Amino acid sequence: MICLVAANATASVPKMIATSIVGVLAFTAFLAWTMFRTVRTAERTERDPKYLRRRLIRWGMLYVVCAVVLLVEVVTGSQPKAMLLGLPIPALVAWRFFRTAVGVKIPPSLSSFP
């Protein structure tokens, strides 16, 4: 009969089970923390229009920076020119984020100007 398990595998089984349990618990705790942060961010976005505008501008800037990096890579020759075919999509997404940010109305009571 062919043995597919090493002779010392039985000694490491409890260690492997404990490692798996700790790994799953850590990953679950990480997921719970990220979901908690996501819910808090969504609630704050609904309450605070300045925060919403700030987040929209940040996301738009992220797409703009990625597009600029792509352009630089193509100009320097490290990426082929065919990569420019995908450039309109991030440009449209960034434009949409900026247009939405401009459309956010901030009440005068929240304005930073006196």
**49: part of which helix (H) or strand (E)?**
helix 49-76
Q: What pLDDT is stored for residue 100 in this prediction?
A: 95
pLDDT by position in tens, the chain (length 114) = 555 555 555 557 888 899 999 999 999 999 999 999 999 999 998 888 999 999 999 999 999 999 999 999 999 999 999 989 989 999 999 999 999 999 988 887 766 655
Q: What pLDDT is stored for residue 98 in this prediction?
A: 96
| C-alpha closest to that of 63 among 87, 83, 81 | 87
**pTM, rounded to two decimals:** 0.67
Q: 84: how many CB neighbours lie within 10 A of its CB? A: 12
